[in-house]
Structure 1
Amino acid sequence: MREIITLQLGQLSNYTATHFWNTQVEQLPTTSSAKTVTDQPQESYFTYAADEESPVDHNVHWRAGVGADGSDTFLPRTVIYDLKGGFGSLRKINALYEPESEATPGALWSGPSVVQKQQPLEANAYQQSLDSGSQAPQLTTSTVRYWSDFSRAYFHPRSLVQLYDFELNSTTMPFERFAMGSELYNVLDREHELVDRDWRPFAEEADQMQGIQVFTSIDDAWGGFASSYIESLRDEYPKTCIWVWGLQSPMLGIPRSKRQLRLVNTAHSIDQLCAQATTLVPVALPETDFPAGISMDSRSQWHTSAAMATAIETATLQTRLTQGTADQPVSLDYMAESLNPAGNQPLASMEMSLAPETDAPDGDRIDIDFFQIGRGGLGRQRDREARIFGQVFSCRALGPKGDEQQDLPGHQGRPVIGSPVIRKYESSLRFPLLDSYPRIYPRAADQQDIAVLTNLSSNTFMAPRIKTLRTESTRFVGVEEREALNNGLAELAEAYREDWSSGSDDDDDDI
């Protein structure tokens, strides 16, 4: 069934993935796998009338099952990791499953015992309205405290894995260094064999897994955790496509020492993940030249993750289309090959354009460049002169701009050796703006959906960007790890260089 199994690591990743699942969540009132609201307009392309076939194959990302009451369930194929306190009011056992019996203290200890329980967090008004079927109140940055506060989907109990070794937002022992994540994974894996315990049950129930999708932050300790986890997955599934979305938090307003630490974490994550993943796409919002048309609170992960999820959900839309529809599906592996024609270019960039109307002029579009690696050391002139190796356009009722459209080939047949590999996928499905989605696009304030275009690309401007990351990050690492990091990033940068003259003054020969 071409299943894609998702791995979510950390707060920012879970915020982003929650928007991802909400977009696809089943809205039919007869289902028990989604939290529904009565008397609400159609909110998602996931739902269609009984006599209308959905163009989206739900089985790719969702698994069918049976709840405790015998009702059919449809739950995400995902494994979710977070720190102690990171799940908010979300319970491991939900309305679809019976609570498991727990051992009493007397069964473990014959002496006197005192049971201490932490007071559980109360669900916010939005979640209470979903459970009761009443009108949902409008969410705000103050009412969204955790990613579970705006989740519209139920999850299987096996999907939720809480790590008690670190606490969310701890000031005494923050989970913020790459090495911390690697060490935590190794400790837990020696004790529990995480892939066998948490991942394998989802993989074994898949008939024909097309790939693995990973949401992880790469500028904190989760980058180290993800690198070790994906290394284990690669050992188990050596030929499976592993597609990683490397998320980064905004750096505005944080101390210089924290910025340096995040820079080093990002460098280590890119170096390690590119060695194991099929494709790695770093995703970060720009610090400067923020696109007009977006009203966003950069301190709110609910806001920042919404824009990231819109791009991710759109860029992968063609991997979950129904077979036999007008828009033919493609696999994650095929997309990865399109972006990596040389076989040594696993890193890709992503851009997104949004417009309230399908035929909106170029001036009304909202353009976001999510590839911020090494951005500080380069100007935009270099980006315009980049040579394309591989490029994948995903158009949801919105095509490329005039200058981009001219570069698209007339057909998508077998490419000539050495020529760019450019793919374009079109769909009439617009991105739905749900009541769980923040109102960050003032131009679409009265819209229920929005037209979106994403552009995944591998090109020559990545070489100087990676070089900038290498130069800036290796100054803050120890001597023993500096050489390995320096060599790894230099080798990666070399894969994105090509011997051609752009007519500009170029001093990047010494990579």
Structure 2
Amino acid sequence: MPTREVLTLQFGHYSNFIGTHWWNIQESSFSYEPKQPSEINHDVLYREGETPRKETTFTPRLLLVDLKGSVGHLTEQGNLYKAVEKSLPLHSDLWDSENIQVTTEPVVNKAPFIQNLEKGPADGEDAVVNFEDDVTVWADYLVPRFHPRTVNIVREYEHQSLDQPFNVFHYGHHLWKTEQFQEEFSNKIRAYAEECDFMQGFQVILDSTNGFSGLGSSCIQHLQDEYGKSILAFPVIDGKNFNKSLNDLFKVLNTALCYQSIGEHCSLFSPLCVGQNGWPQAGACRQFNHLTYNSELDYHTSSLLATALDTISLRYRQKEFSTSALSDLCADLNKLGRRAAATSLSLPFPMTAGQDLIDVLDDHEGPLWTSLTPSCDISMDKSMQSLVLRGIHHERLKRPPHEAKLQQRKAAYSCSSVHEMMTLYLACSCHATATHLTNLKAPLTIKEPYPNIFNNNIHQNGDFSPWPVGEEVKSVPVLAGLHSGPSLSHMFDSLHSQASRIKSISKLRGFKDSGLEQDELIECLDQLLTYKEAYEDHYE
């Protein structure tokens, strides 16, 4: 049976932070042991190729976009194939060779982790790596090598520029319309698509608070018009909180315009942010019982979002049920005009050392997951949800009859698999909720450059302990999901409320100068209310 491929697109600096962790996680899950083949079909997101030297390569089926000066040591051609250096001829009839002035970009030093990666284990002592201090851009902890068409640099704007910031939705929209960018980028999409046996759709991660919201939204519209495949989009907001300024309104309006656009053109979208509010500021960070992370570090927060995305996408990347498709996931959750879903994460899944799954579920109180969607606390009732549980082995299900004791009195003891027991638990704890559950045996592998955010009471296999154990965490069980339910109504209502503070776009010069009309703002606000009403209990 042919592979059902998915093409991934990343638009923006924070999106690429998330994407880098995501691709690193996938690389760490590769299995080279014939007796223990991977449960994951990596061909869904990866492509096999060949270098000019006839060396086999395996690279992400990926296109990413970022601004000039944002990729560190990485070149636009990547580091997989050696690009042919172009030099000016010594003599030419078109110019005077003595008066030629050649300007070269400064060489960017590689981060210690990249230096260690390139040296390899046999090349001597590794440099000391402190990721929290060393990582300034996402390329500083990138493990996989990219195909030459993957990296795309926007040279009209510079990363973190104060003179000409890329901070308006329409800047990205206009950039897409330029013949050079649209034609070149569209050709790269087509090249990937033509390589596929049976492409099932697209995953898109895009920054929603700056110009990449317009660029990514325009690309999503192009994908819908040109290919008609399923599109799963994740508009993202970083977890940083800054002093209040006019830039807050820019971010709110960019986000509102982004949600309006992708809600019309994608199959399903799920906003992501580790902050509880998202707008006008990210707000207090989401709390995980056994994690300690810095919400001001993109390197930390993006790892949580990447963990959720990697786990959620296992539904259409598993080998056992190869017919499970991206379109099925979207169709389950976008009923009744509901194009948005909330993302949840349980990291690590609460397995206590020495306990079986039957006891863990019986003792657990409250929701199993934490929301990663801004202004949205996911309820366990009245929703459609797709959940993926990874890392719980059958041996941890329950005790054998001669050791079971009190376990035998529980209804769940009759369950013979992890999938059956979790399904029973969700049926009992989630009122009027339809759940699609996927489970894999393999846990999430933890190794550098994944950040060290686990508390010292976590065993190396991810189990909790009531006291410090001081072990290096090597793997953890994870539960993540997408949910479509009434709680999303509050998200749209909150965004509408903040965007409604903008009475006139005349004060937001960047938007006015780029062509946004007052009528378009009103239309956007009305559309947010339409989205909101689709999630209200009384709505039919």
- TM beyond 0.5: yes
Residue aligning to 1:353? 346
Which residue among 262, 287, 291 is the counterpart of 2:251?
262
Judged with a 3 Å threshold, the aligned counterparts in structure 2 of structure 1 residues 192 and 426 are, in CA distance, closer, same or farther, namely closer
* Paired residue type of 1:469: L
**Structure 2 stretches lacking a partner, 5+ long:** 276-282, 354-359, 393-417, 459-470, 506-517
Matches within 5 A, 1:338-417: 338-342=332-336, 344-355=337-348, 358-359=351-352, 361=360, 362=364, 367-373=369-375, 384=379, 387-388=382-383, 390-397=384-391, 406-408=425-427
Q: Deviations over 1:272-307 (max 9, x none)?
A: 111001110100013336314322222221111001
Q: CA deviation at 1:191?
A: 5.9
The total of aligned residue pairs comes to 460
Choose which of 75, 85, 89 in structure 1 pairs with 2:69: 85
Q: Distance in 1 between matches of 2:254 and 2:220?
A: 17
Q: Secondary structure at the match of 1:282?
A: coil
Q: Matched residues in 1 for 2:521 and 2:536: separation?
A: 23
Among candidates 448, 455, 478, match of residue 435 of structure 1:
448
For residue 267 of structure 1, report the CA deviation from its aligned partner. Answer: 1.0
Query: Aligned in 2, Cα 1:103/1:408: closer, same or farther, shift over 3 Å?
Result: farther
CA separation in 2, counterparts of 1:58 and 1:403? 26
Out of 214, 218, 223, which is 2:213 matched to? 223
Look up the match of 2:537.
498
Contact 2:207 2:235 in 1 (8 A): yes
The answer (yes or no) to whether the contact 2:445–2:475 under 8 Å persists in 1 is: yes
The 2-side partners of 1:463 and 1:357 are apart by 29
Corresponding residue of 1:47: 31
- 1:364 and 1:117 map into 2 onto residues whose CA distance is 58
Q: What is residue 290 of structure 1 aligned with on the other side?
A: 286
Cα deviation for residue 368 of structure 1 reads: 2.9
1:385 and 1:124 map into 2 onto residues whose CA distance is 43
What displacement does 1:405 show? Answer: 5.7
Contact 2:240 2:297 (8 Å CA) reproduced: no
Task: Give the match for residue 185 of structure 1.
Answer: 176
Distance (Å, rounded) in 1 between the aligned partners of 2:92 and 2:314: 51
2:495 equivalent in structure 1:
469
Q: Is 1:272–2:261 an aligned residue pair?
A: yes
For residue 73 of structure 2, give the secondary structure of its aligned residue in structure 1: coil
The worse-fitting range, judged by mean Cα deviation, of 350-359 and 80-89 is: 350-359
Contact 1:321 1:329 in 2 (8 A): no
Instruction: Give the alignment of 1:109-188 within 5 angstroms.
Output: 109-111=94-96, 112-134=99-121, 135=126, 137-187=128-178
Q: Distance in 1 between matches of 2:367 and 2:30?
A: 26
* CA deviation after TM superposition for structure 1 residue 260, in Å: 2.4
- Partner Cα distance (1:393, 1:385) in 2: 12
Partner of 1:336 in structure 2? 330
How far apart are the structure 2 equivalents of 1:70 and 1:23?
27
User: What secondary structure does 1:462 align onto?
Assistant: helix
Task: Work out the CA distance in 1 between the residues paired with 2:93 and 2:137.
Answer: 34
Tell me how far 1:245 sits from its aligned partner. 1.2
Q: Tell me the distance in 2 between the aligned counterparts of 1:313 and 1:484.
A: 35
Bigger radius of gyration, 1 or 2? 2
* C-alpha separation in 2, matches of 1:349 and 1:122: 39
Change (3 A) 1:163 1:407: same
Does the aligned pair in 2 maintain the 1:353–1:368 contact within 8 Å?
yes
Q: Deviations over 1:200-251 (max 9, x none)?
A: 111110110111011111121111111111111111012x001111111124
- 1:14 is displaced (CA, Å) by 0.7
In structure 2, relative to structure 1, the CA distance for the partners of 1:492 and 1:107 (3 Å cut) is farther
Post-superposition shift, 1:45? Answer: 2.5
Q: TM-score, normalised by structure 2?
A: 0.79
Q: Distance in 2 between matches of 1:365 and 1:149?
A: 36
Structure 1 CA distance for aligned equivalents of residues 10 and 176 of structure 2: 14
Question: Which secondary structure does the structure 2 equivalent of 1:201 belong to?
Answer: helix
Q: Which residue of 2 aligns with 1:41?
A: none
Q: 3-state SS of the aligned residue for 1:310?
A: helix
Contact preservation (8 Å) 1:409, 1:422: no
Q: Residue 33 of structure 1 corresponds to which residue in structure 2?
A: none
Give aligned-pair identity as a percent: 24
Report the Cα distance in structure 1 between the residues aligned to 2:180 and 2:139, rounded to whole angstroms. 30
TM-score, normalised relative to structure 1 = 0.83
Taking a change above 3 Å as real, the CA distance of residues 72 and 173 of structure 1, as seen in their structure-2 partners, is: same
Matched residue type, 1:75: T
Q: CA deviation at 1:10?
A: 1.1
The residue identity in structure 2 corresponding to 1:152 is V
1:203 maps onto 2:197 in alignment: no
1:385 deviation in Å?
A: 8.1
For residue 56 of structure 1, give the secondary structure of its aligned residue in structure 2.
coil
> Who is 2:10 aligned against?
8
Query: Paired residue for 1:320, among 306, 314, 317?
Result: 317
- Stretch of structure 1 that moved more, 133-142 or 4-13: 133-142
Q: Is the 8 A contact 1:179 1:224 kept in 2?
A: yes
- SS class of match (1:158): coil
Question: Cα offset for 1:493?
Answer: 1.5
- Matched residue type, 2:446: L
Q: How far apart, in 1, do the equivalents of 2:188 and 2:324 lie?
A: 28
**Aligned partner (choices 217, 237, 255) of residue 248 of structure 1:** 237
